[in-house]
Structure 1
Amino acid sequence: MRSRYAPDRGLVGRMVFTIVLLGLLYVVVMAVLIGLGLPWPLVLVLGGVGLFVQWWFSDRLALASMRAVEVSPAEAPELHAVIDRLCALADMPKPRVAIADTDIPNAFATGRSPKRAVVCATTGILRRLDERELEGVLSHELSHVAHRDVTVMTVASFVSVVAGLLMRSFLYGGIAPRRDNRDNAAAVVLLVVVASVAVYAVSFLLIRALSRYRELAADRAGALLTGQPSALASALVKVSGEMARIPTRDLRQAEAYNAFFFAPALAGGFSISSLFSTHPSLDVRLDRLARISGELGRAG
Structure 2
Amino acid sequence: MNFFKTGILIAGITALFLGVGFAVGGEGGMLIALVIAIAMNGFAYWNSDKMVLRMYGAREVSEADAPEFVGLVRQLAMRAELPMPRVYIMENPQPNAFATGRNPENAAVAATTGLLNMMSREELAGVMAHELAHVRNRDTLIMTVTATIAGAISMLANFALFFGGNRNNNLGIIGTLAMVILAPIAAMLVQMAISRTREYSADKAGGEICGNPEWLASALVKLQNGASRIENVTAEQNPASASLFIINPLHGKGADNLFSTHPSTENRVARLMELAKSFRRGARKSTQKPASGRTSVPSSNPSGGKGQGPHTPWSN
Return the TM-score normalized by structure 2: 0.82
What amino acid does structure 2 have at the position aligned with 1:252?
E
Deviation sequence 1:7-43 (CA, Å, 0-9, x none): xxx22111111112122212212322554x7633321
Q: Distance in 2 between matches of 1:65 and 1:239?
A: 21
Question: Does residue 231 of the first structure (1) align with residue 215 of the second (2)?
Answer: yes
RMSD: 2.4
In the TM superposition, what whole-angstrom CA distance separates every residue of 1:115-156 from its partner, at most 9, and x where no partner exists? 111100011101111111001000000000011101111112
Q: TM-score, normalised by structure 1?
A: 0.86
**Distance in 2 separating the partners of 1:241 and 1:272:** 13
Q: Residue 51 of structure 1 aligns with which residue?
A: 41
2:132 to 132, 142, 151: 142
User: Which residue is 2:307 aligned to?
Assistant: none
Aligned match of 1:155: 145
Q: Which stretches in structure 1 are left out of the alignment for 5+ residues?
A: 1-9
Hey, what's the Cα distance between the residues in 2 that align with 1:212 and 1:31? 30
SS in 1 for 2:258: helix
Partner of 1:259, secondary structure, is helix
Counterpart of 1:280 (choices 255, 263, 284) is 263
Q: Tell me, yes or no, if the aligned pair for 1:170 and 1:189 is still in contact at 8 Å.
A: no
The C-alpha deviation readout for 1:153-177, integer Å capped at 9, x for no partner, is 1112233211211233344x3x455
Within 5 Å, which residues of 2 pair with 1:104-253? 104-171=94-161, 173=162, 175=163, 191-247=175-231, 252-253=236-237
- Counterpart contact for 2:159–2:165, Cα < 8 Å: no
Question: Counterparts of 1:247 and 1:178 in 2: how far apart (Å)?
Answer: 45
Q: Is the 8 A contact 1:38 1:177 kept in 2?
A: no
Work out whether 1:91 is the aligned partner of 2:81: yes
Q: Secondary structure at the match of 2:243?
A: coil
Question: Structure 1 residues 34, 165: CA separation in 2 closer, same or farther (over 3 Å shift)?
Answer: closer
User: What residue in structure 2 maps to residue 30 of structure 1?
Assistant: 21
In 1, Cα distance between equivalents of 2:120 and 2:175: 56
- The count of corresponding residues between Structure 1 and Structure 2 is 282
Which of the residues 6, 9, 23 maps onto 1:18? 9
Aligned residue number for residue 278 of structure 2 = 295
Matches for 1:51-70 after TM superposition, within 5 Å: 51-70=41-60
Deviation at 1:66, TM superposition (A): 1.1
In 1, distance between residues paired with 2:232 and 2:47? Answer: 30
Q: Quick check: 78-87 or 253-262, which moved more?
A: 253-262
Amino acid at match of 1:157: A
**Shift in Å, 1:75:** 1.3
2:61 aligned to which of 60, 66, 71: 71
Query: In 2, Cα distance between the equivalents of 1:34 and 1:287?
Result: 46
Gaps of 5+ in 2: 284-316
The equivalent residue for 1:4 is none
Calculate percent identity across the aligned residue pairs: 34
Alpha-carbon separation, structure 2, partners of 1:140 and 1:16: 21
* Paired letter, 2:126: G
Q: How far apart, in 1, do the equivalents of 2:248 and 2:254 lie?
A: 12
| Matching residue of 2:247 | 263
The letter of the residue matching 2:274 is R
Shift of the 158–194 alpha-carbon distance from structure 1 to 2, 3 Å rule, reads: farther
Amino acid at match of 2:199: E
Measure the CA separation in 2 of the matches of 1:247 and 1:20. Answer: 36
Deviations 1:195-242 (A, max 9, x none): 122222222212211111110110000101222111101111111112
Distance of aligned partners of 1:231 and 1:273 in 2 relative to their CA distance in 1, 3 Å threshold: closer
Q: Which amino acid aligns with 1:17?
A: I
Q: Determine the C-alpha separation between the residues in 1 that align with 2:213 and 2:7.
A: 27
CA positional deviation for 1:89: 0.9
